[in-house]
Amino acid sequence: MKKRPTLVIMAAGMGSRYGGLKQIDPVGLNGEIIMDYSIYDARLAGFGKVVFVIKEEFYDIFKEKIGDRISKLENIEVKYVFQDIKSIPEGYKLPQDRIKPWGTGHAILSCKGAIDEPFVVINADDFYGSTTYKLIYDELANQTDEYRYYMVGFQLDKTISKNGSVARGICKLDKESNLITVEEKTQIEEISGTIYSIEDRYNSLTEKNESIKLELERKMPVSMNIWGFMPSIFEELELEFEKFLDENIEDLKSEFYIPSAVDNLIKSKKATMKVIKTKEKWYGVTYQQDKKDVSEALKSMTPSIYPDRYINS
């Protein structure tokens, strides 16, 4: 019998810009956290297991705040995976002053051994909308090609925070909605109704780095780190992570991003990725000020989408 896809929730980041452990910050009418809504939507879509990727020191608080509650629900299995910066391939030495996690690609790689079925990866602090999980579940559950992957593409203007800049994976698609390339932009914000990517460029005339603003199309598809993978991704990520370390291990702030790894796999023709477009609006808590907007949005969806009670009771 074919196994149902698994939901992987990346929750190892502390959220430096936010100022706390935002993954367990209540936002719902009855104290729900964003993960409650994500798991509720995933269960309705058909997912059979949830894997939390966390730092080991947060294990007890995660079990208390959500894990123990979820594990009591029917038809859902709960597992924990620890993302450890010391977990790097043999032959590489961890820089003495490295404290920053290795990034989202390393978070997925941490799940090797805990997953042998198709799986979907999400951020713990992002709300993706009630229909999104069904869209990607249906594609992934029926997939037999080990190197056919998926990504949900959001419309850029539905992913912006009004409280500061955000990082997004800018996607270029072919006519069949297959991903051609994804480029990580780390400073995107809306200024006076126009969305820009703000980048530092070296000016050879002044011999200085200068900040420039590149206008982005409002409706272009972007990655919000909701990916659908087959188990084959683990072997590929191991290879990509080694390439990353060869070039970046001494950079204490460098991160092994999922979009970069996927981009390399597509360019080398090792894998293909279909982009599933959603009309949902993204909500997230990148900054403390975002919490109010997220909370108001989720309350407006109760009870029309979510029950007027604790959604995992």
Decide: 48 and 5 in contact? Cβ < 8 Å.
Answer: yes
The percentage of the chain sitting over the pLDDT mark of 90, rounded to a whole number, equals: 69
Give the 3-state secondary structure of residue 124: coil
- pLDDT level of residue 312 (50, 70, 90 thresholds): low
**99-155 pLDDT tens trace:** 989 999 999 999 999 999 999 999 998 999 989 999 999 999 999 999 999 999 999
- The pLDDT tens digits of the residues spanning 4-22 come to 999 999 998 644 444 456 6
For residues 71-84, average pLDDT? 91
pLDDT recorded at residue 65: 84
Average pLDDT, rounded, for the chain: 91
Measured distance CA(9)–CA(122) in Å, rounded: 5
pLDDT for the residue 21: 62
Q: Are 35 and 51 in contact (CB under 8 A)?
A: no
Beta strands in the chain (DSSP E): 6-10, 49-54, 77-82, 119-123, 126-127, 148-155, 166-173, 179-191, 194-203, 208-215, 221-229, 272-277, 283-284
pLDDT computed for residue 20 by the predictor: 52
pLDDT, position 46:
95
Asked whether the beta carbons of 169 and 182 are under 8 A apart, the reply is: yes
Which domains can be identified in the chain, with CATH numbers? 6-154+222-300 (3.90.550.10)
Q: What is the pLDDT of residue 147?
A: 97
Dihedral angle sign, alpha carbons of residues 309, 310, 312, 313:
negative
What does the pLDDT read at residue 92? 96
Phi-psi region at 103: left, alpha or beta (left = phi > 0; alpha = psi -120 to 50): left
- Pick from 264, 59, 78, 115: which is nearest to 182 by CA? 264
Nearest Cα residue to 150 out of 225, 235, 256? 225
pLDDT bucket at 186, cuts 50 / 70 / 90:
confident
pLDDT tens, position by position, 258-300 = 988 999 999 999 999 999 999 999 999 888 889 899 999 999 9
Cα atoms in the 13 Å half-sphere on the side-chain side of 95: 15
Per-residue pLDDT tens digits for 231-267: 999 999 999 999 999 999 999 999 999 988 999 999 9
Residue 1: is its pLDDT beyond 60? no
- 224 alpha-carbon distance from chain centroid: 6
* pLDDT tens for each residue of 24-51: 788 888 888 999 999 999 999 999 999 9
Among residues 258, 227, 6, 228, the alpha carbon closest in space to that of 116 is found at 6
Which pLDDT value is given to residue 309?
Answer: 73
- Residue 67 DSSP one-character state: I
**Distances, alpha carbon 288 to alpha carbons 166, 188, 298, in Å:** 13, 18, 16
Q: Are 139 and 122 in contact (CB under 8 A)?
A: no
Q: How many other CB atoms sit within 10 Å of the CB of residue 28?
A: 19
The b/e string for 33-55 (b: 16+ C-beta within 10 A; e otherwise) is bbbbbbbbbbbebebebbbbbbb
Mean pLDDT of 169-197: 93
pTM over 0.75: yes
